[in-house]
Amino acid sequence: MNVKDVFETMAYGPAPESAAEALAWIAERGGTFGHFIDGVFTKPGKGFESRNPATGELLAKLTQARQADVDAAVKAARTAQGGWARLGGAGRARTLYALARLLQKHSRLFAVLESLDNGKPIRESRDIDVPLAQRHFYFHAGMAQLMEDELPDRAPLGVCGQVIPWNFPLLMLAWKIAPALAMGNTVVLKPAEYTSLTALLFAEICQQAGLPKGVVNIVTGDGAVGEMVVAAEVDKVAFTGSTAVGRRIRDATAGSGKVLTLELGGKSPYIVFDDADLDSAVEGLVDAIWFNQGQVCCAGSRLLVHEPVAELFYAKLRARMDKLRVGDPLDKSIDIGAIVDPVQLKTITDLVAANTAGETHVATTDLPAMGSFYPPTLITGLNPADTLMQEEIFGPVLVSTTFRTPEEAVALANNSRYGLAATVWSENINLALDIAPKLATGIVWVNGTNLMDAAAGFGGVRESGFGREGGWEGLAAYTRPKGTAKPLKEIAAFAGAGAPTDPIDRTAKLYIGGKQARPDSGYSAPVWGKSGALLGHVSLANRKDLRNAVEAAQAAKGWSKTTGHLRAQILYYIGENLAARAAEFAGRLDAMQGGKHGAKEVEAAINRLFTYAAWADKYDGQVHGVPIRGVALAMKEPVGVIGAICPNQAPLVGLMSCMAPAIAMGNRVILSASEPFPLAATDFIQVLETSDVPAGVVNILTGSHSEIASHMAGHMDIDAVWCFGAAPLSGEVERASASNLKRTWVNNGQARDWMGAAGQGHEFLRAATEVKNIWVPYGE
């Protein structure tokens, strides 16, 4: 093309970034790489190739880790952990800061290597991936510095096994390693098999920064190595990747006591209202679905357009799509690079080819003759249930439908098993901020999209996984309460003397939907005191009763919209009503447990109610100052319906410790009462009946925990399960929760002092809330 042609066509000329330095870096290392274990690189072994997806050329040979490598890496991490933690927050902060500085110093090499390996445009790796990775290390250097002052009661977990995907190789590494190290943990990280090179360059940076050996270990390989890392003697597993693998990891780690966080897939809605600045919304879509070739877990991949502007909007969008340039990732003038690997290209191609619904527009842009490329694609006129509206395509393919009212937009947006992010485009702030809380996602962007920052927690709800990365909330997943937990002592119910005879039927009923209910099974069991006296009978709840309780809790949705002030008043009122019957409850507790501590337990239970009444209107969110023209409102929202297997010990204060924080934060609960000592819970039903608690907000079941626990964890309409019952239940709950990947909080067979400070506080409030980050424009 000569100058005249350029003027006539206004076509961009190529502006390629040189690959020379990055290729030289690979060549200097002989083109083959081992693992990074205990501060040194191992000798390269048998493995696999890493190719440039834009050309198909071989970049490097990588080693497939064997079990012995993973074991060595975990051992090195274990050995290093104590010293790293003892270095103290300030010492760790210095090293993290040095890592941030070195990432900055070598940022161009990281960016070029990333684009070569992954196929993403250099503009993105240079301006987004690498700077955000640096930012993560800077931010967490600060968190290390502040840990002792701001999190005085938290300790590191130990060794973290981390498995990351290929879409943001360096950035995901930073998201995983920076918080882990800041909190005094050590790590074994496995990068994705397509994209391990920047992780290996990062290992060199660790050496340069003087990171003590064994603090960061990197093993390369495919999913089989990922499985080894997950199965290894690690204290925490952090995974980002597909929902299918996340589910397997949930299952594999169930009952192991390992802390787990999962960042999984998404099908994030992008909602455009008729009053939106349509040109901005079109430009936003370029970032939402064509950023990183659409291989983004929070990609705005499901476009919902207000009907009055749909045709106009689609026309603008098609015109913009046709101008996107697809080509050499190292060319600074291209918009869209290569798909990570021919395997992923085939997945995208097959998914789109199988679709017969709607109208497909493929951008008229030219594709390079070779390499792994896919054109920007828009499919309109789909129905909400169509496969492409539900399945994550993970490619540059946008699917769309229209809506008529804001209510319909919300319903369509929430019609997904995922819940990672959502974008709302409107010039009407009332409308945007009315919609944001109604979206079942972990993130909402208003008039912007795909915004991320270390200060704002990132993560989703539903099958998008659980846990947050970034922000203060992200640290919870890399720390545990200080102190050594004691093993849980199992408690058996007392046996009776003689037959359970009682001429009057005093069987305590279940409490479902604000009413006392007979159990579906029709069965009950006697409850004996320590001396063998018959104290009463309790109903044995089964799966059907649980289902009824879930229905009642779901119908009580209004509770989640009440004010903290109202919830506080109701909790105070429950506390007062319990206090009025303190002596009766104390007597019941003593009779059941055979002690003299009943009065103390009642006092603690009343206190617990007052504590969460106090919290109900004070556990506020935050406003994060993020480096964009806006702020991120970190809102603490109720989780939804929480099922709790209450502790067998402390039958009244244990019940309150589960119920009070949950309802204070706006959740509805289904409580499975202490199994050996259930009568305090059934007496408590009368307190609830006189305390203005709306029907369905609190539901109480009695009977066998193991009859209920796994059904609770498997129920699709329960959002989280807390399990403080007998040790084996922890694994059962975690395993069954893999069905819809709900949040679980289990005791792993460890005891808790329910009467004391461990029975209340921030840990409970965190479990009772979900942080939603709403990014809104603010300031200049």
* Exposure b/e, 663-688, CB count within 10 A at least 16 = b: bbbbbbbbbbbbbbbbbbbbbbbebb
Residue 460 to residue 262: CA distance in whole angstroms: 9
Select which of 17, 263, 675, 732 is catalytic. 263
Of residues 711, 730, 682, the one with CA closest to residue 546? 711
Return the SS3 of 40.
strand
Binding of residue 264 to ligand NAI (CB under 6 A): yes
Alpha-carbon distance values, 499 to 278, 514, 526, 534, 702 (Å): 77, 33, 10, 9, 21
**Subset of residues 34 to 73 that bind ligand NAI, contact rule: CB under 6 A:** none
Residue 335 to residue 348: CA distance in whole angstroms: 19
Nearest distance from residue 191's CB to ligand NAI, in Å?
6
Does the active-site annotation cover 28?
Answer: no
Residue from the set 44, 89, 169, 265 that interacts with ligand NAI by CB under 6 A: 265
Binding of residue 163 to ligand NAI (CB under 6 A): yes
- Which token pair is 318? 């098609």
Nearest distance from residue 241's CB to ligand NAI, in Å?
3
Residue from the set 245, 538, 746, 771 that interacts with ligand NAI by CB under 6 A: 245
Residue 740 to residue 435: CA distance in whole angstroms: 25
Question: Between residues 84 and 166, which has the closer beta carbon with respect to ligand NAI?
Answer: 166
Residue 37 to residue 188: CA distance in whole angstroms: 9
Nearest distance from residue 741's CB to ligand NAI, in Å?
13
- Which token pair is 424? 């709302």
Nearest distance from residue 392's CB to ligand NAI, in Å?
4
- Which residue has the CB atom at the shortest distance from ligand NAI? 226
Nearest distance from residue 15's CB to ligand NAI, in Å?
29
Q: Are 634 and 773 in contact (CB under 8 A)?
A: yes
CA-based Rg of the chain, rounded to a whole angstrom? 28
Measured in whole angstroms, the distance separating CA 600 from the mean position of its chain's CA atoms is 38
Tell me the per-residue interface mask from 364 to 403 with ligand NAI, x by CB under 6 A, - otherwise: ----------------------------x-x---------
**Subset of residues 2 to 41 that bind ligand NAI, contact rule: CB under 6 A:** none
The site that binds ligand NAI (CB under 6 A) totals a number of residues, namely 26
Binding of residue 114 to ligand NAI (CB under 6 A): no
Binding of residue 632 to ligand NAI (CB under 6 A): no
Residue 424 to residue 268: CA distance in whole angstroms: 11
Binding of residue 248 to ligand NAI (CB under 6 A): yes
Residue with tokens 């030289």: 24
Binding of residue 161 to ligand NAI (CB under 6 A): no
* Exposure b/e, 305-334, CB count within 10 A at least 16 = b: bbeebbeebbebbbebbeebbbbbbbbeeb
- Torsion angle of the four alpha carbons 102, 104, 107, 108, in this order, in degrees rounded to the nearest 10: -110
Question: Between residues 252 and 357, which has the closer beta carbon with respect to ligand NAI?
Answer: 252
Nearest distance from residue 152's CB to ligand NAI, in Å?
34
Binding of residue 435 to ligand NAI (CB under 6 A): no
Residue from the set 79, 347, 428, 569 that interacts with ligand NAI by CB under 6 A: 347
Nearest distance from residue 407's CB to ligand NAI, in Å?
29
- Sheet containing strand 40-41, edge to edge, reads 40-41, 36-37, 216-218, 186-190, 159-163, 236-240, 259-263, 465-466
Question: Between residues 104 and 242, which has the closer beta carbon with respect to ligand NAI?
Answer: 242
**Subset of residues 184 to 243 that bind ligand NAI, contact rule: CB under 6 A:** 190, 192-193, 222-223, 226-227, 230, 240-242
Question: Between residues 165 and 327, which has the closer beta carbon with respect to ligand NAI?
Answer: 165
Question: Between residues 190 and 588, which has the closer beta carbon with respect to ligand NAI?
Answer: 190
Residue 187 to residue 180: CA distance in whole angstroms: 7
Tell me the per-residue interface mask from 722 to 741 with ligand NAI, x by CB under 6 A, - otherwise: --------------------
Residue 255 to residue 232: CA distance in whole angstroms: 14
Question: Between residues 249 and 679, which has the closer beta carbon with respect to ligand NAI?
Answer: 249
DSSP 528-573: E-TTS-EEEEEE---HHHHHHHHHHHHHTGGGGGS-HHHHHHHHHH
Question: Between residues 252 and 362, which has the closer beta carbon with respect to ligand NAI?
Answer: 252
Other Cβ atoms less than 10 A from the Cβ of 587: the count is 13
Amino acid in the structure at residue 743: R
Nearest distance from residue 469's CB to ligand NAI, in Å?
11
Residue with tokens 């400070």: 757
- Which token pair is 548? 């009824």
Sign of the dihedral defined by the CA atoms of residues 475, 478, 480, 484, in that order: negative
Residue from the set 50, 167, 196, 672 that interacts with ligand NAI by CB under 6 A: 167
Task: Select from 100-108, 160-168, 199-207, 452-460 the region that touches ligand NAI (CB under 6 A).
Answer: 160-168
The residue ranges that bind ligand NAI (CB under 6 A) are: 163-167, 190, 192-193, 222-223, 226-227, 230, 240-242, 245, 248-249, 264-265, 297, 344, 347, 392, 394
Name the residues annotated as catalytic.
263
